[in-house]
Amino acid sequence: AEPMVKKEVFTKTIEKKQIAHVEANKETLAPKATFKTAKKTQQTKAVEVAMEGMKRGDTQQVESVLDHTPKAIQDEFKLRLMIKENPEKVLPYIKSNYRNFTQQESLLALAAQAQQRAGLHKSALNFYKVLVVKQPRDPRWRVGMAISLESRGYKAEAKKMYELALSMNTLAPSLQRFSNQRLLVL
């Protein structure tokens, strides 16, 4: 009878360890469907509120929730706000705070947008050209190039870029409308 007791104890210990492992790793072991029903964290809610505020142009709302978001997201929102308020300060800020920023598409895109908004279209074009090489299937960079080309007086080249972006079939509806409107003018 002695070996049976030890076996039962051993089995129960293994079962407890398995249950503890499952409990500790619920999120990674859970089926995908459960993620839809998971409660949102304070951080996730803050990011969503900040994104909605950004879309509406509500700077105060964005700034009010930034403290509850991860550092990387805080930086992106701060740069996006800076693009709206002081676009000429974005590139110097990126250069001084991010070594090798040219290797990060998201920072290149922010730099290109800022340069464009600051009226520095030649510089913006240089960033968009790098983005096109790094992400050739992303039509947004062609629209960005078209805007800067048009601003510099290169209307035929801008028209080609708008047409190319529209032909890629992955352009966001708002950029499709914008590109079509610009093509009517060109």
Give the pLDDT confidence score for residue 34 in this predicted structure.
37
Give the pLDDT confidence score for residue 46 in this predicted structure.
63
pLDDT tens digits, 36-91? 434 556 666 666 777 777 778 777 777 777 677 777 777 888 888 899 899 999 99
**Residue 172 pLDDT > 80, yes or no?**
yes
Give the pLDDT confidence score for residue 43 in this predicted structure.
60
Give the pLDDT confidence score for residue 5 in this predicted structure.
45
pLDDT tens digits, 104-143? 999 999 999 999 999 999 999 999 999 999 999 999 999 9
Contact 81, 66 (CB under 8 A): no
Give the pLDDT confidence score for residue 58 in this predicted structure.
78
Give the pLDDT confidence score for residue 41 in this predicted structure.
66
**Residue 26 pLDDT > 80, yes or no?**
no
Give the pLDDT confidence score for residue 61 in this predicted structure.
74
Give the pLDDT confidence score for residue 146 in this predicted structure.
98
